[in-house]
Amino acid sequence: MAAGLDSLGQCLERYLPAEQLEEVKRILYGEHVRPLDLPSVATSAAAERNFELLGYGFQAEPEQLRQPRVVRVGLIQNKIPLPTSALVAEQVAALHKRIEEIVEVAAMCKVNVVCFQEAWTMPFAFCTREKLPWTEYAESAEDGPTTRFCQKLAKKHNMVVVSPILERDDVHGGTLWNTAVVISNSGAVLGKSRKNHIPRIGDFNESTYYMEGDRGHPVFQTQFGKIAVNICFGRHHPLNWLMYSLNGAEIIFNPSATIGKLSESMWPIEARNAAIANHCFTCAINRVGTELYPNPFTSGDGGEAHHDLGHFYGSSYVASPDGSRTPELSRTQDGLLVAEMDLNLCRQVGDKWNFKMTGRYEMYAKELAAAVQPNFVPNIIHE
Amino acid sequence: MAAGLDSLGQCLERYLPAEQLEEVKRILYGEHVRPLDLPSVATSAAAERNFELLGYGFQAEPEQLRQPRVVRVGLIQNKIPLPTSALVAEQVAALHKRIEEIVEVAAMCKVNVVCFQEAWTMPFAFCTREKLPWTEYAESAEDGPTTRFCQKLAKKHNMVVVSPILERDDVHGGTLWNTAVVISNSGAVLGKSRKNHIPRIGDFNESTYYMEGDRGHPVFQTQFGKIAVNICFGRHHPLNWLMYSLNGAEIIFNPSATIGKLSESMWPIEARNAAIANHCFTCAINRVGTELYPNPFTSGDGGEAHHDLGHFYGSSYVASPDGSRTPELSRTQDGLLVAEMDLNLCRQVGDKWNFKMTGRYEMYAKELAAAVQPNFVPNIIHE
């Protein structure tokens, strides 16, 4: 399947005259993002290891009573290094190795909090509707091999690690969950956050593997600010973002797996809207590449059986509460996006726009409670 | 104040090679919008009357049991024709005349539902913080001169008219409201919808003129589908869009007045996100031009006193539930955007993406009710 354009941002840079480019970028990306000066050792390591490295910074105003709270986050998007037909243990090992070498570069870039893509230790195999071998990728969130691997990374690099995996919950009947494990820079497991909204669309047959999250909207207080994780399909639900924000999140990660044919015109909109609506930073991470499966499957669209879900178009980006955003990572290549932000911007933008103050949540709590009742009568005015 | 680029869409058309242009448009606007073939009598009338006329169409799949429900909506953005120092009655008359001549062209284009910009019968004078003469623009929603004017237009052209005005509510203490009057194509007043969220930002001093709407989220059943009106600042509140949608709205208009310096990078995001999140069409309308006031005022930003709020950047557009959208009207000129849509697309996209089904509103009603309590404890996990 053709992957198309490498990068929207690069395409605009190439063809638009300087004056128009500046105005187009202002309208598309906002005014407040600047390129970061990343160390050359990182730039050359990224080139050597064959992934794109981009860095951007967002600024806040100086305040009298609060010091700036400058944080660097890292967003990693990557292809699966081995064919999906390789042994499970070998695929996991190859992914661990790939992530390790990208995280090393993140450390060179002084990243404080890193987040990987959704279900990062496996191919996104739910499209196959097969259980084995794919459910073998599930691990304990608390002490599975991937969590232990991330704990080592976290401690070594003094970095908070957000590790979205397929979770096997042996304490509760051995059920599966789609879970992000949050590991402190101390190396301790801070906790976990489960995907709250499960897709029922196309080949995203995830609802036959796991259920909607049962842990609400936890926010994790780290040394580098309060973070939360809204996994994949939850980005379509503005209320999901809102509740993480009402619990105090300053940065909400959105590790995802989504394909061009389905969602590409929605991708730049949803996480960015959430950053605006909730006065916080959002970090949208998508897989990249096309993953081929051994057995063919159909898509419920009348088409022929095929071996892939489609092209994961990468395009990971960071959006700021002031409406600006970074350009996106490549649509076709592995990448690390480093974004520097002063978290004081969240409250500054909140005090400017006042969406929380003007939110009328009590009214909406009542209206929503009424709307789900069996006897709900929509407010429709007829002539 | 410099207004900048005339139009983002035109700029891309001019400079990008055909192949890249197509791919950039797919990523920026989605795949499913096509130019409409508008009658030449309309095109030449628009040119003669000095406003931009654009037309686009969205399609839906054919169904067996439902006929297509094809509707044409018209979005009008316009400058104030007279200086703000002219007499109130003369300014209103000039605006009525300008709108009448644009609506005539909308009728030539077979528009079924037309919507004007926020507080369309007046300059957007709340930045001045002066009461007179600006509050003299307020009228009865039920039988003020502007409503009667719109009733004539509606009947003459067999067109539903959405008329956002400053409302004087003499039944309730003579208070002011920011209100959209919805007039049926029969000429009858169907009802009204009040602005639910009032800005507290910059020079948008509206909260000293009127209060948050008290009418909830009404939806109007018209001959051409179920419509609702989310006025201006309400577009920043995802819950506001959601409640109109849960009450059944298929098209939500967002008549607005917003300026470049403040919101331009947010403008393409918010209404479009609402169309996606709620499986409905959204129509974002912004004023255009710079309005100069007789008396200077400051902006609470340390700057000099000045005579204008800033440049209203137009850029009105329509977004579809499938994530696609039309290009925008000009950033600097009056305009009429005609959009044709098959409303069957709303349910088709809903059945595909299932955001309502997966919305978990009962959980959010409870979480929101808890979040507004004085003893609310945010869900924050510490090491």
CA atoms within 13 A on the CB side of B99: 29
Which DSSP string corresponds to B333-360? S-EEEEEEEETHHHHHHHHHH-TTTT--
Distance CA A254, CA A115 (A): 9
Q: How many other CB atoms sit within 10 Å of the CB of residue B62?
A: 10
Give the end-to-end CA distance of chain B in Å, rounded to a whole number. 51
- Whether B25 has a pLDDT exceeding 90, the answer reads no
Q: Is the pLDDT score of B2 beyond 60?
A: no
* 8 A C-beta contact, residue A333 and residue A288: yes
Spatial separation of the C-alpha atoms in residues A5 and A12, rounded to whole Å: 11
Residue B83 included in any domain:
yes
Q: pLDDT tens, B60-112?
A: 999 999 999 999 999 999 999 999 999 999 999 999 999 999 999 999 999 99
Task: Specify the DSSP class assigned to residue A93.
Answer: H
Residue A342 to residue A349: CA distance in whole angstroms: 12
What mean pLDDT is predicted for residues A315-337?
96
Which one, of B277, B251, B233, B253, lies nearest residue A241 by Cα?
A: B277
Q: What does the alpha-carbon distance between residue B229 and residue B241 come to, in Å, rounded to a whole number?
A: 9
pLDDT(A16) > 70? yes
| A26 inside domain | no
Name the minimum distance, in Å, from the CA of A258 to any CA of chain B: 13
Residue scoring higher pLDDT (A22 or A57): A57
User: What digits encode the pLDDT tens for the residues B237-287?
Assistant: 999 999 999 999 999 999 999 998 889 989 999 999 999 999 999 999 999
pLDDT given at position A3 = 62
Please give the structure tokens belonging to residue B36: 């409409």
**Integer Cα distance of B307 and B261 in angstroms:** 16
Asked if A360's CB is within 8 angstroms of B196's CB, the reply is: yes
Instruction: Report, as residue numbers or ranges, the catalytic residues of A.
Output: 118, 195, 232
Partner residue opposite B247 with nearest CB, options A352, A353, A380? A380
What Rg value do the Cα atoms of chain B yield, rounded? 21
User: Cβ of B371 and A361 within 8 Å?
Assistant: yes
Output DSSP code: residue B57.
Answer: E
Mutation target among B356, B364, B377 for the A interface, most CBs of A within 10 A: B364
By C-alpha distance, the chain A residue nearest B16 is A15
Domain-embedded: residue B142: yes
Confirm if B141 and B188 have CB atoms less than 8 A apart.
Answer: no
Taking phi over 0 as left and psi of -120 to 50 as alpha, with beta for the rest, B232 belongs to left
CA distance B375 to A358: 20
pLDDT digits (tens, 9 = 90+) for A61-95: 999 999 999 999 999 999 999 999 999 999 999 99
Q: Does residue A259 form part of some domain?
A: yes
Q: Which of B201, B263, B371 sits opposite A246 (nearest CB)?
A: B371
Q: pLDDT at residue A2 above 80? A: no
B219 and B227 in contact (C-beta within 8 Å)?
Answer: yes
Nearest CA in chain B to A12: B16
Running DSSP on this structure, what letter comes out for residue B305? P
Q: B128: closest CA among B221, B47, B209, B69? A: B209
- Give the integer Cα–Cα distance in Å for A231 and A244: 12
* pLDDT tens digit sequence for B285-331: 999 999 999 999 999 889 999 999 999 999 999 999 999 999 999 99
- Whether B335 is in a domain gets the answer yes
- What percent of the residues of chain B are helix, what percent strand, and what percent coil, each to the nearest 5? 35, 25, 40
Chain B residue numbers with beta carbons less than 8 Å from the beta carbon of A23 are 4-5, 11
Contact (CB, 8 A) for A73 and A347: no
The domain tally of chain B equals 1
Size of interface A-B (CB pairs under 8 A): 264
Distances in Å between the alpha carbon of B82 and those of A5, A10, B137, B256? 47, 44, 14, 20
DSSP class of A217: -
Question: For the segment A91-133, what is each residue's pLDDT rounded down to a tens digit?
Answer: 999 999 999 999 999 999 999 999 999 999 999 999 999 999 9
Is B312 contained in some domain? yes
Q: How far apart are CA A242 and CA B284, in angstroms?
A: 23
What phi-psi label fits residue A369: left (phi over 0), alpha (psi between -120 and 50 degrees) or beta?
A: alpha
* Residues A27, B264: C-beta atoms closer than 8 Å: yes
By C-alpha distance, which of B96, B98, B106, B221 is closest to B147?
Answer: B96
Asked if pLDDT for residue B1 goes beyond 50, the answer is no
pLDDT in tens, B185-236: 999 999 999 999 999 998 999 999 999 999 999 999 999 999 999 999 999 9
Contact yes or no for B323 and A190 at CB 8 A: no
- What pLDDT, on a 0 to 100 scale, did the predictor assign at position B373? 97
Pick among B13, B178, B265, B361 to test the A interface (most A CBs inside 10 A): B265
CATH number of the domain where residue B222 is located: 3.60.110.10
Residue A289 token pair: 């590449």
Angle between helices A40-48 and A88-108 (to 10 degrees): 160
Specify if A371 maps to a domain: no
Q: Given pLDDT bands bounded at 50, 70 and 90, which one contains residue B3?
A: low
Which residues span the domain enclosing A135? 33-295+308-348
Q: Could you read off the pLDDT of A214-272 as tens digits, one per residue?
A: 999 999 999 999 999 999 999 999 999 999 999 999 999 999 999 988 899 899 999 99
Tell whether B348 is covered by a domain: yes
Chain A residues with CB under 8 Å of B367 CB are 216-217, 243, 246
pLDDT at B341: 98
What pLDDT was estimated at residue B94?
98
The pLDDT of residue A150 is 98
- Cross-chain CB nearest to B243 (options A222, A266, A367): A367
B174 is written with which tokens? Answer: 């003579």
Tell me what percent of the residues of chain A surpass a pLDDT of 70. Answer: 99
Q: Closest partner residue to B238 among A198, A238, A367, by Cβ?
A: A238
**Contact between B365 and A362 using a beta-carbon 8 Å cutoff:** no
pLDDT value of position B9: 84
pLDDT (average), residues A140-150:
98
